[in-house]
């Protein structure tokens, strides 16, 4: 998106007629934005009670072929190119986005055809990969322009690009990243860029570099610099998948895996709830792309050290996550913290936890066994309610305040001597 904007934003007669619909209405109840949108429109606090949300809330319809053709041709004309194969573009669009035929993807496909790509056998992965590669190329070109006054050897140029990309992936995996926060949780990358700029221009100015390469939008006020996530959502998610794949296929896989774990940890430190939502969406949107341990990487969350409380709804309805590790130091798991994590098969609860609040693990229907920590004092009402496959719970041999219906009736309670 940014690459397309950069090329054409100074043409005053381009008409902007792109309707960006990233998520289908049937998925709206799983995301925070759905709650916020519904609350602002209907003045009701939740969308989860809507049994037929597409009929009651919004109905999305694809543009007709004539409208798509005009959009595609207008875009091509503003590129000063010969007419494109509109029929092939629309045919490909219907194959990769059959329900909505989103105009944004039509522009991506048009841009690809203009650049000489053959769309004949393209699927969704081809389209998303093309956009992600365009974004990478844009960053590389901007870095080159930003550093053209200095003498930078290729190896340093590559390190700068890698550091910038780690900021982008961190921001995308956590819904955006304030620069002050970036300086804290990614201090090594921040200091490295500071040193590069200082050696070239005599001053530490990573903010200017990030702005020069388009990672920080130039219109953002200086008091609130922020690295936004790559958008639309599907593009950002796919970019992160490609980044992970590139990290793991490299011959230096051991070192790269450390960097990978570091970036995943940064995103969780930045915003645990947002990072959980993004990871869950990646698992839902790209199951075919997450083979060869990709599902383990995105579906397993290791909550960072330093967290003392798992707040309400932190992992609410993250239904595609499969494993969560809670660090030592957490003492309270609040209500609805893991509500609706229906594919969660493993949860590691440390001995530091003393309280499991109401419905903390409600409807975690894939859990089969739970080990309650030694220091637990309270397990509240329906903490593990509707955990249909929970066969056994291991409890420490001590007095614990346990609500009568904390566990399903069929669950076997095993007291640890």
When mean pLDDT is compared across 13-17, 139-143, 266-270, the lowest value belongs to: 13-17
When pLDDT is averaged across residues 5-9 and rounded to a whole number, the result is 49
Mean per-residue pLDDT, 23-42: 46
pLDDT of residue 51 exceeding 70, the answer is no
**Structure confidence at residue 203 as a pLDDT band (50, 70, 90):** confident
Say which DSSP state 228 is in: P
The 10 Å Cβ neighbour count of residue 195 is 12
Kindly provide the residue ranges of all beta strands, DSSP E only, lying in 167-210, ordered along the sequence: 177-178
Kindly report, residue by residue over 382-402, the tens digit of the pLDDT: 999 999 999 999 999 999 999
Domain residue ranges of the chain, discontinuous segments joined by +: 2-24+60-121, 123-299, 303-417
pLDDT at 217: 79
Task: List Cα–Cα distances, 300 to 243, 266, 297, 344, 346, in angstroms.
Answer: 17, 15, 6, 9, 9
Condensed to tens digits (0 to 9), the pLDDT of residues 339-348 reads 999 999 999 9
Burial class (CB in 10 A: 0-12, 13-18, 19+), 401: exposed
How many Cβ atoms sit within 10 Å of the Cβ of residue 299? 22
Mean pLDDT in the chain? Answer: 83
Residue 224 has pLDDT above 60, yes or no: no
Give me the mean pLDDT over the 352-374 stretch: 97
**CB 150: neighbour CB atoms within 10 A?**
12
pLDDT for 150 equals 52
> Is 20's pLDDT higher than 60?
no
Q: Read off the pLDDT of residues 122-146 as tens digits, 9 standing for 90 and up.
A: 998 999 999 999 988 888 887 777 6
342 burial level (CB within 10 Å; 0-12, 13-18, 19+): middle
Tens digits of residue pLDDT in 102-122: 888 899 999 999 999 999 999
Residue 92's pLDDT band, with cuts at 50, 70 and 90, is very high
CATH code 3.80.10.10 for 303-417: yes
More confidently predicted of 77 and 372: 372
Separation CA 368–CA 348 (nearest Å): 13
CA distance readout (Å), 261 to 62, 174, 254, 275: 40, 14, 11, 14
The answer to whether residues 414 and 393 touch, using CB atoms and an 8 Å cutoff, is: yes
Q: How far is CA 347 from the centre of its chain?
A: 21
pLDDT at residue 171 greater than cutoff 50? yes
Angle formed at CA 13 by CA 212 and CA 146, multiple of 5 degrees: 10
How confident is the model over 300-335, as pLDDT tens digits?
999 999 999 999 999 999 999 999 999 999 999 999
pLDDT band, very low/low/confident/very high, at 44 (cuts 50, 70, 90):
very low
> What's 97's DSSP letter?
S
């Amino acid at each position: 998106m940014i690459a397309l904007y950069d090329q054409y934003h100074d043409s005053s007669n381009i008409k902007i007629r792109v309707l960006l619909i990233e998520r289908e209405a049937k998925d709206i109840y799983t995301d925070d934005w759905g709650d916020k949108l519904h609350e602002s429109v209907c003045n009701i606090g939740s969308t989860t009670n809507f049994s037929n949300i597409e009929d009651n809330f919004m109905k999305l319809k694809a543009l007709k072929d004539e409208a798509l053709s005009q959009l595609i041709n207008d875009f091509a004309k503003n590129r000063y190119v010969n007419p494109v194969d509109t029929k092939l573009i629309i045919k490909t669009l219907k194959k990769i986005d059959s329900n909505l035929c989103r105009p944004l993807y039509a522009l991506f496909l048009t841009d690809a055809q203009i650049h000489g790509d053959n769309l004949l056998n393209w699927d969704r992965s081809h389209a998303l990969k093309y956009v992600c590669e365009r974004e990478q190329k844009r960053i590389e070109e901007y870095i080159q322009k930003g550093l053209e006054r200095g003498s930078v050897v290729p190896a340093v140029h590559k390190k700068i690009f890698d550091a910038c990309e780690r900021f982008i992936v961190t921001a995308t995996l956590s819904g955006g990243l304030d620069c002050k926060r970036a300086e804290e949780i990614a201090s090594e990358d921040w200091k490295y860029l500071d040193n590069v700029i200082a050696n070239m221009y005599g001053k530490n100015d990573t903010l200017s570099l990030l702005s020069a390469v388009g990672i920080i939008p130039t219109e953002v006020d200086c008091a609130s610099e922020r690295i936004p996530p790559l958008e639309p959502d599907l593009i950002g998610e796919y970019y992160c998948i490609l980044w992970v794949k590139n990290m793991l296929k490299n011959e230096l896989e051991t070192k790269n895996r450390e960097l990978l774990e570091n970036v995943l940890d940064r995103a969780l430190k930045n915003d645990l709830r947002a990072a959980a939502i993004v990871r869950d969406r990646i698992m839902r949107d790209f199951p075919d792309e997450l083979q060869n341990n990709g599902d383990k990487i995105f579906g397993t969350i290791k909550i960072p050290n330093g967290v003392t409380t798992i707040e309400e709804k932190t992992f609410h309805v993250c239904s595609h996550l499969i494993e969560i590790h809670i660090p030592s130091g957490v003492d309270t798991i609040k209500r609805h913290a893991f509500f609706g994590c229906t594919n969660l098969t493993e949860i590691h609860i440390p001995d530091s936890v003393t309280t499991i609040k109401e419905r903390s693990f409600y409807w975690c229907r894939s859990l089969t066994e739970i080990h309650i920590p030694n220091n637990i004092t309270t397990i509240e009402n329906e903490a593990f309610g509707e955990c249909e496959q929970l066969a056994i719970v291991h409890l420490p041999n001590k007095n614990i305040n346990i609500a009568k219906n904390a566990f399903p009736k069929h669950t076997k309670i095993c007291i640890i001597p």
